[in-house]
A and B are shown apart, each in its own frame.
Chain A
Protein backbone atom coordinates (compact mmCIF):
# COMPACT_ATOMS: atom_id res chain seq x y z
CA UNK A 1 0.00 0.00 0.00
CA UNK A 2 1.44 3.42 -0.92
CA UNK A 3 2.43 5.79 1.83
CA UNK A 4 -0.30 8.44 1.77
CA UNK A 5 1.72 10.78 3.97
CA UNK A 6 4.40 10.94 1.28
CA UNK A 7 2.06 11.17 -1.69
CA UNK A 8 -0.17 13.95 -0.31
CA UNK A 9 1.88 16.69 1.29
CA UNK A 10 -0.22 19.68 2.38
CA UNK A 11 0.90 22.98 0.93
CA UNK A 12 1.62 26.01 3.08
CA UNK A 13 -1.68 27.54 1.93
CA UNK A 14 -3.66 24.42 2.86
CA UNK A 15 -2.08 24.25 6.32
CA UNK A 16 -2.79 27.94 6.91
CA UNK A 17 -6.41 27.52 5.80
CA UNK A 18 -6.86 24.48 8.06
CA UNK A 19 -5.45 26.41 11.01
CA UNK A 20 -7.86 29.28 10.31
CA UNK A 21 -10.82 26.84 10.18
CA UNK A 22 -9.73 25.09 13.37
CA UNK A 23 -9.44 28.34 15.32
CA UNK A 24 -12.86 29.51 14.08
CA UNK A 25 -14.42 26.15 15.00
CA UNK A 26 -12.88 26.24 18.48
CA UNK A 27 -14.17 29.78 19.07
CA UNK A 28 -17.64 28.86 17.76
CA UNK A 29 -17.82 25.80 20.03
CA UNK A 30 -16.67 27.79 23.06
CA UNK A 31 -19.23 30.51 22.30
CA UNK A 32 -21.95 27.86 21.92
CA UNK A 33 -21.14 26.31 25.30
CA UNK A 34 -21.15 29.72 27.02
CA UNK A 35 -24.42 30.72 25.35
CA UNK A 36 -26.19 27.49 26.33
CA UNK A 37 -24.78 27.53 29.89
CA UNK A 38 -25.58 31.17 30.68
CA UNK A 39 -28.85 31.02 28.75
CA UNK A 40 -30.01 28.04 30.78
CA UNK A 41 -29.23 29.83 34.04
CA UNK A 42 -31.03 33.00 32.89
CA UNK A 43 -34.01 31.07 31.56
CA UNK A 44 -34.54 28.70 34.47
CA UNK A 45 -32.93 30.70 37.29
CA UNK A 46 -32.36 28.92 40.63
CA UNK A 47 -34.85 26.24 39.55
CA UNK A 48 -32.06 24.87 37.35
CA UNK A 49 -30.35 23.46 40.46
CA UNK A 50 -33.56 22.68 42.36
CA UNK A 51 -34.22 19.02 41.66
CA UNK A 52 -34.67 15.97 43.86
CA UNK A 53 -31.56 13.83 44.23
Chain B
Protein backbone atom coordinates (compact mmCIF):
# COMPACT_ATOMS: atom_id res chain seq x y z
CA UNK B 1 0.00 0.00 0.00
CA UNK B 2 1.45 3.39 -0.91
CA UNK B 3 1.92 6.14 1.61
CA UNK B 4 -0.87 8.18 0.04
CA UNK B 5 -3.29 5.27 0.22
CA UNK B 6 -2.40 4.55 3.85
CA UNK B 7 -2.87 8.20 4.79
CA UNK B 8 -6.33 8.14 3.30
CA UNK B 9 -7.25 4.88 4.99
CA UNK B 10 -6.06 5.81 8.49
CA UNK B 11 -8.36 7.23 11.15
CA UNK B 12 -11.00 9.60 9.91
CA UNK B 13 -9.01 11.13 7.03
CA UNK B 14 -10.76 9.02 4.42
CA UNK B 15 -14.21 9.33 5.89
CA UNK B 16 -17.02 11.43 4.53
CA UNK B 17 -17.58 14.72 6.34
CA UNK B 18 -20.36 14.82 8.94
CA UNK B 19 -20.87 18.55 8.38
CA UNK B 20 -24.45 19.42 7.49
CA UNK B 21 -25.66 22.48 5.60
CA UNK B 22 -26.51 23.97 9.01
CA UNK B 23 -22.81 23.87 9.96
CA UNK B 24 -21.94 25.91 6.89
CA UNK B 25 -24.74 28.35 7.73
CA UNK B 26 -23.24 28.63 11.25
CA UNK B 27 -19.88 29.58 9.68
CA UNK B 28 -21.61 32.67 8.26
CA UNK B 29 -22.46 33.94 11.79
CA UNK B 30 -26.16 34.46 10.95
CA UNK B 31 -26.88 36.66 13.97
CA UNK B 32 -24.12 39.13 13.03
CA UNK B 33 -25.29 38.86 9.42
CA UNK B 34 -28.84 39.89 10.38
CA UNK B 35 -27.52 43.12 11.93
CA UNK B 36 -25.36 43.74 8.84
CA UNK B 37 -28.36 43.24 6.53
CA UNK B 38 -30.55 45.53 8.61
CA UNK B 39 -28.05 48.41 8.88
CA UNK B 40 -27.07 48.13 5.20
CA UNK B 41 -30.76 48.21 4.25
CA UNK B 42 -31.30 51.35 6.34
CA UNK B 43 -28.28 52.98 4.66
CA UNK B 44 -29.81 52.13 1.29
CA UNK B 45 -33.27 53.50 2.18
CA UNK B 46 -31.86 56.76 3.57
CA UNK B 47 -29.67 57.39 0.53
CA UNK B 48 -31.06 60.01 -1.88
CA UNK B 49 -31.61 57.63 -4.82
CA UNK B 50 -34.31 55.39 -6.26
CA UNK B 51 -32.69 52.02 -6.96
CA UNK B 52 -34.32 49.19 -8.88
CA UNK B 53 -35.85 47.08 -6.05
CA UNK B 54 -34.47 43.80 -7.43
CA UNK B 55 -30.96 45.22 -7.86
CA UNK B 56 -31.21 46.66 -4.32
CA UNK B 57 -32.18 43.17 -3.10
CA UNK B 58 -29.14 41.67 -4.86
CA UNK B 59 -26.90 44.33 -3.33
CA UNK B 60 -28.21 43.47 0.17
CA UNK B 61 -27.70 39.77 -0.57
CA UNK B 62 -24.11 40.41 -1.69
CA UNK B 63 -23.38 42.48 1.43
CA UNK B 64 -24.88 39.69 3.60
CA UNK B 65 -22.80 37.00 1.88
CA UNK B 66 -19.68 39.19 2.17
CA UNK B 67 -20.33 39.55 5.91
CA UNK B 68 -20.82 35.78 6.11
CA UNK B 69 -17.51 35.24 4.31
CA UNK B 70 -15.79 37.38 6.97
CA UNK B 71 -17.39 35.19 9.64
CA UNK B 72 -16.15 31.99 7.97
CA UNK B 73 -12.61 33.38 7.63
CA UNK B 74 -12.73 34.45 11.29
CA UNK B 75 -13.81 30.96 12.37
CA UNK B 76 -11.07 29.40 10.24
CA UNK B 77 -8.32 31.49 11.83
CA UNK B 78 -9.70 31.55 15.39
CA UNK B 79 -10.49 27.82 15.76
CA UNK B 80 -7.73 27.42 18.39
CA UNK B 81 -9.08 30.15 20.68
CA UNK B 82 -12.73 29.35 19.93
CA UNK B 83 -12.11 25.85 21.33
CA UNK B 84 -11.07 27.37 24.69
CA UNK B 85 -14.17 29.53 25.21
CA UNK B 86 -17.53 28.12 26.32
CA UNK B 87 -19.38 30.63 24.11
CA UNK B 88 -17.60 29.48 20.93
CA UNK B 89 -16.45 25.90 21.66
CA UNK B 90 -19.49 24.46 19.84
CA UNK B 91 -18.65 26.16 16.52
CA UNK B 92 -18.20 23.89 13.47
CA UNK B 93 -14.38 24.13 13.21
CA UNK B 94 -13.39 23.57 16.87
CA UNK B 95 -15.81 20.63 17.09
CA UNK B 96 -14.22 19.11 13.97
CA UNK B 97 -17.41 18.96 11.90
CA UNK B 98 -15.84 21.34 9.35
CA UNK B 99 -12.08 21.23 8.71
CA UNK B 100 -10.11 24.52 8.81
CA UNK B 101 -9.32 24.10 5.10
CA UNK B 102 -13.01 23.78 4.24
CA UNK B 103 -13.86 26.89 6.27
CA UNK B 104 -11.04 28.83 4.56
CA UNK B 105 -12.12 27.77 1.06
CA UNK B 106 -15.78 28.51 1.87
CA UNK B 107 -14.90 32.00 3.15
CA UNK B 108 -12.62 32.86 0.22
CA UNK B 109 -15.08 31.69 -2.44
CA UNK B 110 -17.98 33.58 -0.86
CA UNK B 111 -15.83 36.71 -0.43
CA UNK B 112 -14.84 36.66 -4.12
CA UNK B 113 -18.36 36.07 -5.39
CA UNK B 114 -20.01 38.64 -3.11
CA UNK B 115 -17.59 41.42 -4.11
CA UNK B 116 -17.87 40.55 -7.84
CA UNK B 117 -21.68 40.44 -7.77
CA UNK B 118 -21.93 43.73 -5.85
CA UNK B 119 -19.55 45.35 -8.35
CA UNK B 120 -21.40 44.06 -11.39
CA UNK B 121 -24.96 44.62 -10.12
CA UNK B 122 -24.48 47.85 -8.12
CA UNK B 123 -21.16 49.67 -8.54
CA UNK B 124 -17.45 49.26 -7.82
CA UNK B 125 -17.34 51.87 -5.05
CA UNK B 126 -19.67 49.68 -2.97
CA UNK B 127 -17.79 46.53 -4.04
CA UNK B 128 -14.45 48.06 -3.01
CA UNK B 129 -15.92 49.01 0.37
CA UNK B 130 -17.21 45.44 0.83
CA UNK B 131 -13.80 43.99 -0.10
CA UNK B 132 -12.13 46.38 2.35
CA UNK B 133 -14.61 45.38 5.09
CA UNK B 134 -13.89 41.67 4.58
CA UNK B 135 -10.12 42.32 4.54
CA UNK B 136 -10.33 44.55 7.62
CA UNK B 137 -12.33 42.02 9.63
CA UNK B 138 -10.44 38.89 8.56
CA UNK B 139 -6.89 40.23 8.41
CA UNK B 140 -6.60 43.45 10.45
CA UNK B 141 -9.01 42.46 13.26
CA UNK B 142 -8.91 38.65 13.38
CA UNK B 143 -5.28 37.95 12.49
CA UNK B 144 -3.67 41.00 14.05
CA UNK B 145 -5.57 43.19 16.54
CA UNK B 146 -7.64 40.56 18.34
CA UNK B 147 -4.64 38.78 19.87
CA UNK B 148 -2.35 41.77 20.36
CA UNK B 149 -4.15 44.79 21.83
CA UNK B 150 -7.02 45.57 24.23
CA UNK B 151 -8.10 48.15 21.62
CA UNK B 152 -8.96 45.17 19.35
CA UNK B 153 -12.72 45.66 19.28
CA UNK B 154 -12.46 49.47 19.20
CA UNK B 155 -10.47 49.53 15.94
CA UNK B 156 -11.96 46.28 14.64
CA UNK B 157 -15.41 47.79 15.17
CA UNK B 158 -14.87 49.71 11.93
CA UNK B 159 -15.63 46.51 10.00
CA UNK B 160 -19.02 46.12 11.70
CA UNK B 161 -19.77 49.81 11.19
CA UNK B 162 -19.24 49.86 7.42
CA UNK B 163 -22.41 48.02 6.16
CA UNK B 164 -24.67 51.15 6.13
CA UNK B 165 -21.91 52.99 4.23
CA UNK B 166 -21.81 50.12 1.71
CA UNK B 167 -25.62 50.16 1.43
CA UNK B 168 -25.57 53.93 0.84
CA UNK B 169 -22.76 53.59 -1.73
CA UNK B 170 -24.57 50.73 -3.50
CA UNK B 171 -27.38 53.08 -4.55
CA UNK B 172 -25.51 56.39 -4.87
CA UNK B 173 -21.99 55.34 -5.86
CA UNK B 174 -20.53 57.71 -3.25
CA UNK B 175 -19.54 58.02 0.41
CA UNK B 176 -21.02 61.10 2.05
CA UNK B 177 -21.08 62.79 5.46
CA UNK B 178 -24.52 61.27 6.14
CA UNK B 179 -23.32 57.72 5.57
CA UNK B 180 -20.25 58.40 7.72
CA UNK B 181 -22.55 59.47 10.56
CA UNK B 182 -24.25 56.06 10.34
CA UNK B 183 -20.76 54.53 10.47
CA UNK B 184 -19.90 56.62 13.54
CA UNK B 185 -22.99 55.45 15.48
CA UNK B 186 -22.07 51.76 15.12
CA UNK B 187 -18.34 52.41 15.58
CA UNK B 188 -18.89 54.19 18.93
CA UNK B 189 -21.53 51.66 20.01
CA UNK B 190 -19.15 48.69 19.62
CA UNK B 191 -16.86 49.24 22.69
CA UNK B 192 -19.58 49.44 25.40
CA UNK B 193 -21.41 46.52 23.73
CA UNK B 194 -18.40 44.16 23.62
CA UNK B 195 -16.84 45.27 26.91
CA UNK B 196 -20.16 44.61 28.67
CA UNK B 197 -19.91 41.05 27.29
CA UNK B 198 -16.22 40.86 28.28
CA UNK B 199 -17.08 41.91 31.86
CA UNK B 200 -19.27 38.86 32.44
CA UNK B 201 -17.25 36.51 30.20
CA UNK B 202 -13.84 37.67 31.39
CA UNK B 203 -12.75 34.14 32.42
CA UNK B 204 -13.44 32.88 28.91
CA UNK B 205 -11.26 35.55 27.28
CA UNK B 206 -8.49 35.08 29.86
CA UNK B 207 -8.39 31.32 29.21
CA UNK B 208 -8.12 31.93 25.47
CA UNK B 209 -5.40 34.58 25.99
CA UNK B 210 -7.34 37.34 24.25
CA UNK B 211 -6.30 40.77 25.59
CA UNK B 212 -9.74 42.23 26.26
CA UNK B 213 -9.87 45.54 28.13
CA UNK B 214 -11.16 44.12 31.49
CA UNK B 215 -8.39 41.50 31.78
CA UNK B 216 -5.60 43.86 30.61
CA UNK B 217 -6.43 47.27 32.12
CA UNK B 218 -8.83 46.09 34.83
CA UNK B 219 -12.55 46.46 35.42
CA UNK B 220 -12.49 50.02 36.80
CA UNK B 221 -10.68 51.41 33.74
CA UNK B 222 -12.98 49.49 31.38
CA UNK B 223 -16.10 50.78 33.09
CA UNK B 224 -14.93 54.41 32.79
CA UNK B 225 -14.18 53.89 29.09
CA UNK B 226 -17.60 52.29 28.60
CA UNK B 227 -19.32 55.31 30.10
CA UNK B 228 -17.28 57.67 27.90
CA UNK B 229 -18.15 55.72 24.74
CA UNK B 230 -21.81 55.55 25.80
CA UNK B 231 -21.93 59.36 26.06
CA UNK B 232 -20.29 59.61 22.62
CA UNK B 233 -22.68 57.10 21.04
CA UNK B 234 -25.66 58.93 22.59
CA UNK B 235 -24.45 62.19 20.99
CA UNK B 236 -23.69 60.53 17.64
CA UNK B 237 -27.17 58.98 17.67
CA UNK B 238 -28.70 62.47 17.58
CA UNK B 239 -26.37 63.71 14.79
CA UNK B 240 -28.68 62.65 11.91
CA UNK B 241 -31.29 65.13 13.21
CA UNK B 242 -28.69 67.87 13.80
CA UNK B 243 -27.17 67.46 10.33
CA UNK B 244 -30.65 67.41 8.83
CA UNK B 245 -31.14 64.04 7.22
CA UNK B 246 -33.53 62.90 9.97
CA UNK B 247 -36.47 64.67 11.63
CA UNK B 248 -36.66 66.27 15.07
CA UNK B 249 -38.99 63.44 16.14
CA UNK B 250 -36.16 61.03 15.36
CA UNK B 251 -33.77 63.29 17.30
CA UNK B 252 -36.01 63.13 20.37
CA UNK B 253 -36.27 59.33 20.15
CA UNK B 254 -32.50 59.01 19.68
CA UNK B 255 -31.86 61.27 22.67
CA UNK B 256 -34.13 59.13 24.87
CA UNK B 257 -32.48 55.91 23.65
CA UNK B 258 -29.03 57.44 24.20
CA UNK B 259 -29.98 58.44 27.74
CA UNK B 260 -30.76 54.75 28.34
CA UNK B 261 -27.27 53.80 27.12
CA UNK B 262 -25.67 56.32 29.51
CA UNK B 263 -27.86 55.20 32.43
CA UNK B 264 -26.97 51.52 31.93
CA UNK B 265 -23.26 52.38 31.63
CA UNK B 266 -23.54 54.48 34.81
CA UNK B 267 -24.96 51.44 36.62
CA UNK B 268 -22.06 49.34 35.28
CA UNK B 269 -19.60 51.99 36.55
CA UNK B 270 -20.94 51.50 40.09
CA UNK B 271 -21.18 47.71 39.82
CA UNK B 272 -19.35 45.98 42.67
CA UNK B 273 -16.32 44.06 41.37
CA UNK B 274 -17.15 41.29 43.85
CA UNK B 275 -20.63 40.93 42.32
CA UNK B 276 -20.28 37.64 40.42
CA UNK B 277 -23.73 37.90 38.83
CA UNK B 278 -22.61 41.04 36.88
CA UNK B 279 -26.25 41.94 36.38
CA UNK B 280 -25.67 45.58 35.32
CA UNK B 281 -23.15 44.44 32.66
CA UNK B 282 -25.63 41.87 31.34
CA UNK B 283 -28.36 44.54 31.33
CA UNK B 284 -26.11 46.95 29.37
CA UNK B 285 -25.24 44.21 26.87
CA UNK B 286 -28.94 43.42 26.29
CA UNK B 287 -29.86 47.12 26.13
CA UNK B 288 -27.05 47.91 23.66
CA UNK B 289 -28.50 45.39 21.19
CA UNK B 290 -31.94 46.98 21.57
CA UNK B 291 -30.39 50.46 21.27
CA UNK B 292 -28.71 49.84 17.93
CA UNK B 293 -31.74 48.09 16.50
CA UNK B 294 -34.07 50.88 17.74
CA UNK B 295 -31.85 53.69 16.40
CA UNK B 296 -31.70 52.16 12.92
CA UNK B 297 -35.41 51.23 13.01
CA UNK B 298 -36.20 54.86 13.92
CA UNK B 299 -34.00 56.09 11.06
CA UNK B 300 -35.76 53.66 8.71
CA UNK B 301 -39.24 54.79 9.74
CA UNK B 302 -38.13 58.43 9.56
CA UNK B 303 -36.64 57.92 6.09
CA UNK B 304 -39.73 56.11 4.78
CA UNK B 305 -42.07 58.80 6.18
CA UNK B 306 -39.90 61.56 4.66
CA UNK B 307 -39.90 59.84 1.29
CA UNK B 308 -43.47 58.56 1.02
CA UNK B 309 -45.30 60.49 3.75
CA UNK B 310 -47.43 63.57 3.40
Does A associate with B in a complex?
A: yes
A interface list, Cβ under 8 A from B: 1-2, 4, 7-8, 10, 13-18, 20-21, 23-24, 32, 35-36, 38-39, 42-43
Hey, which chain A residues are within 8 Å of B21, CB to CB? 20-21, 23-24
A2, B10: Cα distance in complex, Å = 13
CB <8 Å contact, B15 and A42: no
Main secondary structure, interface of A, reads helix
A25, B20: Cα distance in complex, Å = 11
CB <8 Å contact, A18 and B117: no
Closest to B55 in A: A42
Hey, which chain B residues are within 8 Å of A15, CB to CB? 16
B interface list, Cβ under 8 A from A: 1, 5, 9, 14-22, 24, 52, 54-55, 58, 61, 113, 117, 120-121
A21, B106: Cα distance in complex, Å = 13
Hey, which chain B residues are within 8 Å of A2, CB to CB? 1, 5, 9
CB <8 Å contact, B16 and A43: no
A8, B9: Cα distance in complex, Å = 8
CB <8 Å contact, A42 and B22: no
Expressed in whole angstroms, the minimum distance between the Cβ of B280 and any Cβ of chain A is: 42
12 further A-B pairs in the complex, CB-CB below 8 A; given A8-B15, A17-B17, A43-B55: A2-B1, A8-B9, A10-B16, A14-B15, A14-B17, A15-B16, A17-B18, A21-B24, A38-B54, A39-B58, A43-B52, A43-B120
A8, B11: Cα distance in complex, Å = 11
Q: Could you write out 20 A-B pairs with CB less than 8 Å apart?
A: A1-B5, A4-B9, A4-B14, A8-B15, A10-B15, A13-B18, A14-B16, A17-B17, A17-B18, A17-B19, A18-B16, A21-B17, A24-B24, A32-B113, A35-B58, A35-B117, A36-B117, A39-B120, A42-B55, A43-B55
Hey, which chain A residues are within 8 Å of B61, CB to CB? 35
CB <8 Å contact, A21 and B54: no
Expressed in whole angstroms, the minimum distance between the Cβ of A30 and any Cβ of chain B is: 14
